[in-house]
Copies of this chain bind each other. A is one copy, B any other.
Amino acid sequence: KQYRIAVIPGDGIGKEVMPEGLRVLEAAAKKHGVSLHFDHFDFSSWDYYEKHGQMMPDDWKEKIGKHDAIYFGAVGWPAKIPDHVSLWGSLIKFRREFDQYVNLRPVRLMPGVPSPLANRKPGDIDFWVVRENTEGEYSSVGGRMFPDTDREFVTQQTVMTRTGVDRILKFAFELAQSRPKKHLTSATKSNGISITMPYWDERVEAMAKKFPGVKWDKYHIDILTANFVLHPDWFDVVVGSNLFGDILSDLGPACTGTIGIAPSGNINPEGDFPSVFEPVHGSAPDIAGQGIANPIGAIWSGAMMLEHLGEKIAGKSIVDAIERTLAERTLRTKDLGGNADTTACGKAVADMVD
């Protein structure tokens, strides 16, 4: 079978890291006899917006909706275009309209990446954050009343649906069940956010009954962030709402040294729509154009994409190659104390694939 991949580099360093991601994907595909076909798209970027006055063509869904997966760089350039136009006009649109209700991110301490945490070695930190990716705190329901007066107030609703909550919890419990530790942690704040969060807790308890083999616990988000720093070895699979998952999946990678290498998948598990794989980092206007961006986030996202497509061996070969590359100081980019540029680092990973 040939997999058809839509490639969208987007903005800033997205354009610099994607070629390296593709280089490594091609190397792994060749070694493991996987057939990949790439279609390249220039939309979902400031450049496209400048020309067309919108982030994507009207028929974007036809253009990329039938692909097996979407391989994405980064989007956003706040100095040129407001986030609500760029992000809500592309990335968040994909999540919603392609029903990518799972945002999946590994938190793993890699060899060669200095952790900001004292006394943690590779192997000590190795868990997944599973984030609800379509509803919750990122709703568009709300508004402003009495503008520009002293009585002004603004509201925004958090929305949790039975469908939305149950399906992310099911995904998270299944993932926990498939892992050796079989341990799930739920992020809540039911002591303060007194309506939606108790509902989340209630659904976690109901779902837990269907997974008797999974040990589970819950922490309020405040102490959970503290425990990411104090006890990152406690976690195996951590599930949270859209906002809590967003926070935990930046904090987790920070605890393992840098968000520069973290990958993510925006996944539609049923496969009705393509899933999007993208580095956790953004377009980084401050370093764009210098050729120094770390391509590992994009490369690792490519590995997640292969695993999602069912090509587990090819995917794992990339993760192994990343580990071997990071272990060599000279092959790491500057942000990790090395002296390789984006291309040199990408080439090194491609060479390591076997």
A contact residues vs B (CB 8 Å cutoff): 76, 83-84, 87-88, 92, 114-119, 137-138, 140-144, 149-163, 189-196, 198-199, 221-223, 225-227, 229-230, 242-243, 246-247, 249-251, 253-255, 258-259
Is A195 within 8 A of B117, CB to CB? no
Are A246 and B222 interface neighbours, CB within 8 A?
A: yes
Structural contact, A243 and B192, CB atoms closer than 8 A:
yes
Q: Chain B contacts of A192 at CB under 8 A?
A: 87, 92, 137-138, 242-243, 246
- Report the minimal beta-carbon distance from A221 to chain B, rounded to whole angstroms: 6
* This protein's copies in its complex: 2
Contact assessment for B160 and A153 in the assembled complex, using a CB-CB cutoff below 8 Å: yes
Least Cβ distance of A279 to chain B in Å? 14
- Given A116-B117, A137-B192, A162-B151, check contact A255 B229 (CB 8 Å): yes
Say yes or no: B149 contacts A162, CB within 8 Å.
yes
**A251 close to B222 (CB less than 8 A):** yes
A159 to B189, CA, bound (A): 17
User: Which of A87, A117, A222, A230 is most buried by chain B, counting CB atoms within 10 A of its CB?
Assistant: A222
A246 contact set on B, CB distance < 8 A: 189, 192, 221-222
Interface of A is mostly: mixed
CA distance A134 to B160 in the complex (A): 23
Decide: A230 near B254, CB < 8 A? Known: A137-B193, A159-B153, A196-B155.
yes
Contact A194 B88 (CB under 8 A): yes
Q: Indicate if the CB atoms of A199 and B157 lie closer than 8 Å.
A: no
Task: Given A138-B194, A191-B87, verify A155-B162 contact (CB < 8 Å).
Answer: no
- Shortest CB-to-CB span from A299 to chain B, Å, is 21
| CB nearest neighbor in B for A137 | B193
Top 7 A-B residue pairs of the complex, sorted by shortest distance between their CB atoms: A226-B254, A222-B250, A152-B162, A156-B195, A83-B191, A142-B195, A225-B251
Known: A155-B159, A229-B254. 19 other contacts (CB 8 A): A76-B191, A83-B191, A84-B191, A87-B191, A116-B117, A150-B163, A152-B162, A154-B160, A154-B161, A154-B196, A155-B157, A156-B193, A189-B246, A225-B247, A225-B251, A226-B251, A226-B253, A227-B254, A230-B258
Asked whether, in the complex, the Cβ of A157 is within 8 Å of the Cβ of B160, the reply is no
Task: Say yes or no: A83-B250 contact (C-beta < 8 A), given A116-B118, A142-B196.
Answer: no
Give the complex CA separation of A140 and B198 in angstroms.
Answer: 13
Given A115-B118, A152-B161: A226 touches B199 (CB 8 Å cut-off)? no
What are 11 pairs between A and B in contact, CB < 8 Å? A116-B229, A137-B192, A137-B193, A143-B195, A144-B195, A154-B161, A155-B195, A225-B247, A225-B251, A225-B254, A229-B251
Chain B residues whose C-beta falls within 8 Å of the C-beta of A199 in the assembled complex? 144, 154
Specify which of A140, A150, A154, A196 lies most central, judged by the most chain B CB atoms within 10 Å of its CB. A154
Q: In the complex, how many angstroms separate the beta carbon of A92 from the nearest chain B beta carbon?
A: 8
CA distance A151 to B160 in the complex (A): 11
Q: Which residues of B contact A221 (CB under 8 A)?
A: 243, 246-247
Decide if B156 touches A196 in the complex (CB within 8 Å).
Answer: yes
List chain B residues, Cβ under 8 A from A259: 223, 226
